[in-house]
Amino acid sequence: MSAPTAWTVESVRRALTAKQISARELTDEFFRRIGERNPELNAYLALCPERAYAQADRIDRQVARGASLPLLAGVPVAIKDVISTAGIVTTCGSRILQNYIPPYDATAVTRLEQAGAILLGKTNCDEFAMGSSNENSAYGPVRNPIAPDRVPGGSSGGSAAAVAAGLAVIALGTDTGGSIRQPGALCGIPALMPTYGRVSRYGLIAFASSLDRIGPFGRTVADVAAALTVLAGEDANDSTCARTPVPDYTAELHKPVQGMRLGIPKEYFGAGMDPAVRQRVEQAIQQLAQLGCTIEHISLPHTDYAIATYYLVATAEASSNLARYDGVRFGFRAPAASLAEMYRRTRGQGFGQEVKRRIMLGTYALSAGYYEAYYLRAQKVRSLIARDFAEAFRQVDLIVTPTSPVPAFRLGERTSDPLQMYLADIYTVTGSLAGLPGISVPCGTTPEGLPVGLQILGPHFEEARVLRLAHAFERASGFSS
Amino acid sequence: MSIRREDVLRVAELAHLELSEHEVQLYLQQLDSILRYVEKLNELDTEAVEPMAQVLTASPAEADPLREDLPRPHTAGEHVLRNAPEARPPYFRVPKVIER
C-alpha cells in the first residue's frame, strides 16, 4: 500500500487557497481512506458525513468568495468518543451509553468547527477512558497502524491511530493519567496534554474531575500548536477553565531554545524500562544538548508513589462521577422488577470489567473507615508530588523523560493483570497529578520498528515553552511522522 | 488478604453493582493485590502535609472564576427525554420503587 499523503494544517490551507483541491474533495479522500483502513484498525466508532460535507461546502464557498480562511479551514478532525457531539452517538466506549445522543456539543468541538475544521467522526477508546491499551472498549480493540498485531496505547487509542494512519489530520483525546501522551508515543505522533484548566471541559463526559484534560494529536508539533491556539481559553460554561490569556502558540514555536535548562529526573530511568526505549531517549537528550540546551540531572523524590496515589484519587473520583449511570435518564437499562434491582443490573451488565473494578476500588477508598487511610492520604502524597515539580521548576525550564517505559505491546499481552497495566503509566501519571502541561514527541524507533516517545513537561500554563522545545527537537531529529 | 469477601459484597452494594460469583472472586483477588500495592503510601510521613484540594494555586487571572449568575434559556429541553430508556413526557419512567 502506498503511503497516504501526509496532510497537515498548513498543506491543507495551501492546497485550498491555490484551489488544487476543494474541501469537499479532501473530505471525500478522508472518508475513502477510512473506508479502506478502518475495518482493520477499528479507530472510528461512528462517522458523520452529513455534518462533514455541510462544513466542507461552507469552506468551499469561503474559498470561492476569496474570503480569508479561519485557522483550521478544511482540516479533517476526529473526536474521542468521551466528548459530546450534538446529534452524533457518543458511547464512551461503553455498553451503558450504547445509544446515547448528546443534546449539545462540547466547547472543544464548537471551537474546532468555528475555526473551520471538518468533523469526520468519533473515535474508539477504553471504556470511560479507563485503560492504557484501548482493549477495554465495549466495541473491540483498536490496532496500532504501525504494527497491527499491537495495541495503539490508551485510552485515546482510536484518536492516535486515526492520525497516525492518515485518517484525520488532527484528533482530540483526553488525558487523565497518560491517555493522550502514551498512545501518541506508541503510535509515533506528537500528542499534547495541556495544563489543567487550559481547555474547556464543557461536554467532556467526566472520569476523574481533578485530572481530566482535553488535548490534541497531530502529525507535527506545529499542527498541535495550531489546534491548541483554537482550543484554549476561558469558557462561561466551565468554571474550572482558566482565564489565563492564550498566546498564539504557532508564533511562539520559532523562538530559540538555546540556553534552556532541561531537567532529567533520575527516577524516570530506573528498572522496568525497555533497553531500546532507554537508548532512544538518551540519544534524544544528547540531541537536545546539541541544540544548545543545558542538561541538568535532577530528582523528583516522590515519583515512586505516583501510581498508588493516582489509582486512589482517579478511582475515587470515578466512582462518584459514574454514579449517574443508573438506567433512568439515558443509555442502557436492564429489565428489573424494582428500582433498586434495575440500578444494580443496569450497572452490572452495562459496565465492563475494568470500569467495575475501578468503581469498586474507588468506592472502597471513599467508604467509612477507609477514607483517611486511602483517599485522604493519597491527596496528601499528591501535594508532595506537586511540590517536587514546583521545586524542580525553580532550577530548570522544562523536564524531559521517556513517555512510556515500553513500546507498543501485543494485543492481549497485558490484560490478565490490571496492576501491571497500571504500572505502564509510571512516567505520565506524575504530570497528571501535578496539573502540568506535557507533550510526547516521537524520538525514533526500536530495532523492531516500534515508535518511542519523548515526554517534555513544563510549569503550569507554559505550553508555549513545551511546544517550542518539541518543535526544535522534531526539526533537528527528523522524526516528524 | 487485606480485603475480605464481605468487603467486596458490601462495596458492590454501596456502588449498586450486581456482580456474578466469578466477578466477586476476581475482584477479591485483584483488589487485594492493588490495595497491598497502594499501602506503600504508608512509608511516607504525611502528618504535616495538607491534602491537595485544588490543582492550580490561584493566579491573579483566576482570582474570581465565577461568571455573573444570570438566568439563561435552557435549550436542551425536550432533547433530554429523548435519551430515556422509558419516558412519559414530561417524566422519566422507572420500575416500582420498593423499600430495600
pLDDT (tens digit per residue) in B45-60: 999 999 998 888 766 5
Helix pair A353-366, B21-38: axis angle to 10 deg: 60
Angle between helices A306-321 and B21-38 (to 10 degrees): 140
Structural domain count of chain B: 1
H or E stretch including A183?
helix A181-187
Query: Which residues of chain B have a CB within 8 Å of the CB of A367?
Result: 10-11, 14
Q: Do B79 and A103 touch (CB under 8 A)?
A: yes
- The pLDDT assigned to A423 comes to 86
Contact A326 B16 (CB under 8 A): yes
**A contact test, residue of B13, B17, B75 with most A CBs within 10 A:** B17
In this prediction, residue A435 carries a pLDDT of: 97
Cβ-Cβ contacts under 8 Å for B74 (sequence gap 6 or more)? none
Q: Is the ipTM of this complex over 0.85?
A: yes
Residues of A numbered 335-374 whose beta carbons fall under 8 angstroms of chain B's beta carbons: which are they?
A: 336-345, 347-349, 351, 353, 356-357, 359-361, 363-364, 367, 374
The CATH number of the domain where B25 resides is what?
1.10.20
pLDDT score, position A2: 39
pLDDT of residue B1: 63
CATH class of A9-254: alpha beta
Q: Which runs of consecutive H residues, i.e. helices, occur in B15-87?
A: 21-38, 79-82
Positions of chain A with pLDDT under 50 = 1-3
Say whether the peptide bond before residue B89 is cis (omega within 30 degrees of 0).
Answer: no
- A308 vs B36: CA distance, rounded Å: 10
Cis check for the bond before A155: say yes or no (omega within 30 of 0): yes
Q: Is residue B70 part of a domain?
A: no
List Cβ neighbours of A172 (8 Å cut-off, separation of 6 or more): A77, A78, A79, A80, A83, A108, A109, A112, A159, A214, A215, A216, A217
At residue A3, the pLDDT reads: 46
- Asked if A213 and A194 count as a contact pair (C-beta separation under 8 A), the reply is yes
Residues of B within 8 A of A414 (CB-CB) are: none
pLDDT for B77 equals 66
Please report residues of B whose CB lies closer than 8 A to that of A342.
94-95
The domain in which residue B38 lies consists of: 5-42
Tell me the three cell numbers of residue A381. 502524597
Radius of gyration over every alpha carbon of chain B, rounded to an integer in angstroms: 23
In whole angstroms, what is the distance from residue B100 CA to residue B95 CA?
14
CA distance A350 to A360: 15
* Residue B89, in any domain of the structure: no
Res. B96: pLDDT tops 90: no
How far is Cα A141 from Cα A126, in angstroms, rounded to an integer? Answer: 8
Q: Does A4 touch chain B (CB under 8 A)?
A: no
Residue A432 CA to residue A439 CA, distance in Å, equals 12
Cα–Cα distances (Å) from A112 to A105, A190, A200, in that order, read 11, 18, 12
Q: Taking the domains of chain A in order of start, what are their residue ranges?
A: 9-254
